[in-house]
Amino acid sequence: MEDNIMNIVVVGVISWTTAFLLTRKCIFPKRSFGFCSRIVSTIHATLAVILSSLSVQDWSCPACPLASKASPKQMETLAVSLSYMMYDLVCSSFDKGVGVDNSIHHLVSIVGIGAVLANGRSGSEVVAALWVTEISTPFLHLRELLKELGYRDTDLNLAADILFAVIFTLGRMVSGPYLTYVALSANNPFVIKAMGLSLQLVSAFWFYKILRMVQYKLSKRTSS
DSSP structure string for 152-173: TTSHHHHHHHHHHHHHHIIIII
Average pLDDT over residues 53-71: 88
CA distance 65 to 83: 25
CA distance 48 to 177: 20
What type of residue is 203?
A: S
In 3-state terms, what secondary structure has residue 69?
A: strand
Q: Is the peptide bond before 65 cis (omega within 30 degrees of 0)?
A: yes
The pLDDT score that the predictor gives to residue 11 is: 96
Residue 73, pLDDT > 80, answer: yes
> What is the chain's percent helix, strand, coil content, to nearest 5?
80, 0, 20
Beta bridge partners of 69: 121
Residues 217, 37, 103, CA angle at the centre, nearest 5°?
Answer: 80
Backbone φ and ψ for 210, nearest 5 degrees, come out as -65, -40
In 3-state terms, what secondary structure has residue 128?
A: helix
What predicted TM-score, i.e. pTM, was given to this entire model? Answer: 0.91
When pLDDT is cut at 50, 70 and 90, the band that residue 113 belongs to is: very high
The pLDDT score that the predictor gives to residue 12 is: 97
When pLDDT is cut at 50, 70 and 90, the band that residue 54 belongs to is: very high
pLDDT in tens, 141-192: 999 999 999 998 888 988 999 999 999 999 999 999 999 998 899 888 899 9
